[in-house]
Structures are given as C-alpha cells and as structure tokens.
Amino acid sequence: MVPDPLITRFAPSPTGHLHRGHAFSAVMGWAAARETAGQWLLRIEDIDAERVRPGHVEAIHADLAWLGLVPDGPVVTQSERLPLYDAALDRLKADRLVYPCGCTRADIAMAASAPHAGETVAYPGTCRGRSDVDLSAPHAWRLDLAATGLAMEQTWLDLAAGPKAGRADFGGDPVLARKDGAIAYHLACVLDDAAQSVTLVVRGEDLAEATPLHRLLQQLLGLAEPAYLHHALLRDASGNRLAKRAGAATLAVLRAAGEDGAALRRSLLRQSAPLLARAGIPISDSVKI
C-alpha cells in the first residue's frame, strides 16, 4: 500500500559527484511525492568526514536545481546532528546492547572462514562478552544482535517487489560507531528517517541488503517503520552499473557542457514511470512535464 502521506527523501553522500544513477533515484522519489501531494526531502549524508570532498555539497544543490528538483522543507545535514546520534548510542550503551570492539580488519578477516573475493566478511563476534577490551585505545561499538531479542529474519513491504525478507545479521554484529568515533550510516539513517517522518524510502537495490538491519534498529529504538521502494540501478549502454568514477557521466559535467537538466529529468521520469506504476503510483502527465 502506498503510504499516505508519502514523505520520501533523497540522501546523497557528498563523497563524489552525483551521476545519472543518483538523478534516477532522486527523480523517482520527487515524482512520487509530486503525484501524491507528498513531500520530497533532501538529506546530506556527510557523516563520514574522511570521505567527504570539499565542494560536493554545493555541487549536489547545483545538480538538483539544474534538474529542477526543489526539496520540500529544510535540508537536513548529518554532520550537524551528531548529538542526536550520540544520545541514541548512549542509550544502547546504558542498556548493554552495544559492546566495545578493538578488532582490526585483519583480525576479523583472519577469524572468519576464508571468504570468496568481494564477499563481505561477517564479524565473528570476537569481542562480544569480553571484559578486557582496552577502552583507552581506539575501539568501535558493535550492536549485540542476539541481546536485542529481536528476530534476525526481518520482513518489509517493498512497493516494487512486494513482501520481502532478509537477515539483519548478514554482517555479524554491526558497527554502530567506528574506531574514529564516526557514527555508522545504519544508525544515522534510521534515526534521520524517523526524525524526518519519512514514510517511504526510495533507494537503489544495492542498499536493500541493509534494510533488514534497518528494520531491526527501528524496532529496537522504537521508531516508525517506513515502506521501501528499492529500484534497479541504472546501467550504461553496455549494461555496466554507473559508478562514481565514471567521470563523464556526472551531472556536473553534463551541466557544464550546457545540457538541459529538465530534459534529463523528463527522460529519467519516463524510465521510472513503469516501476512507479507497478508500485501503485501512476505518474500523471502534469508531473511528467
């Protein structure tokens, strides 16, 4: 069922320039909001200070303006919301649902059984239940999934694909705060989706693996559970996924070359309309212009 009101968000990370794939996601959420008299919000996910590049936040705003996409309501910037994330982490610490972990990547890779190339190595729980982790040395905080008492098999309604299920423990106990103190994407994302009253998360299917964990965190923290629409990723003519490093495809380059942003928006909207229609949001001609 299409949520009413439909409040969705575009949540880019300013770690690289936006490309057509990002624009596809943005246009899809924007059109869904326009069609239903809902809201399309913008959230800058700049929590990973090490990877944020100067000028990219400004470029995101310029790209969206060029496409003709105007966010409804104030822009949320994650780096301005650290106290909110820290307060949630402190509650989990007080409830003993997170534990300190001093493992390095190499420790984890060695402890886990040989992964195939490119596979995520699931954290084997080395520091769970240990009382000798050196708190004066850099340490991460991991969620003790078993201690939450919540189901690892999580379900959600995907407007595009129907009822979906997946495991929240796909990577073992997840890091909620990194060794360098940065809050993990998973925690910040669910807190912000709730704070922005998001009722529909529109994002690429590459992020669907994280959704069972997001469901679990929403239940753990008593947050409202939005619906989801994970869309297939836009591919280039040879079927390859558009990557950030494919410089020629960035919106900044198209913009600088004098291309028409409104024309790109209309073309992406035509591409996303069949999926939106399947999701129960047929796009009318007045939104397509």
Nearer to ligand GLU, 13 or 154 (CB): 13
- Positive or negative, the CA dihedral 23, 285, 34, 159 is negative
Which range of residues in 9-17, 49-57, 159-167, 247-255 is near ligand GLU by CB under 6 A? Answer: 9-17
Give Cα separations from 143 to 109, 165, 183 (angstroms): 19, 21, 12
Q: What is the contact mask toward ligand GLU in residues 179 to 198, using x (rule: CB under 6 A)? A: ----------x---------
Backbone angles phi, psi at 233, to 5 degrees: -80, 145
Q: Which is nearer to ligand GLU, 101 or 202 (CB)?
A: 202
Candidate segments 6-14, 72-80, 244-252, 271-279, binder of ligand GLU by CB under 6 A: 6-14
Q: Which of 6, 7, 8, 11 binds ligand GLU (CB under 6 A)?
A: 11
* Minimal distance, residue 174 CB to ligand GLU, in Å: 15
**Order of strands, sheet of 200-204, starting from the edge strand that comes earlier in the sequence:** 162-167, 153-158, 227-231, 200-204
- Minimum distance, C-beta of residue 146 to ligand GLU, in the bound complex (Å): 25
Amino acid at 17: H
Are 36 and 2 spatial neighbours (Cβ–Cβ below 8 Å)?
yes
For the segment 13-72, give every residue that binds ligand GLU (CB under 6 A): 13, 45
The answer to whether residue 92 forms part of the interface with ligand GLU (CB under 6 A) is no
Using CB under 6 A, which of the segments 7-15, 134-142, 174-182, 240-248 binds ligand GLU? 7-15
Member of 203, 231, 255, 265 binding ligand GLU (CB under 6 A): 203
- Shortest separation between residue 13's beta carbon and ligand GLU, angstroms: 4
Q: How far is the CB of 42 from ligand GLU (least distance, A)?
A: 11
Packing angle, helices 56-67 and 20-35, rounded to 10: 50
For the residues of 108-174, what is the DSSP string, one character each? HHHHS--PPTTPPPPP--TTTT-S---TTS--EEEE-HHHHT--SEEEEEETTTEEEEEETTBTBSP
Q: Which is nearer to ligand GLU, 11 or 182 (by Cβ)?
A: 11
Site size toward ligand GLU, by CB under 6 A:
7
Does the N-terminal peptide bond of residue 3 adopt cis geometry, omega within 30 degrees of 0? no
Q: Give the interface with ligand GLU as residue ranges (CB under 6 A).
A: 11-13, 45, 189, 203, 207
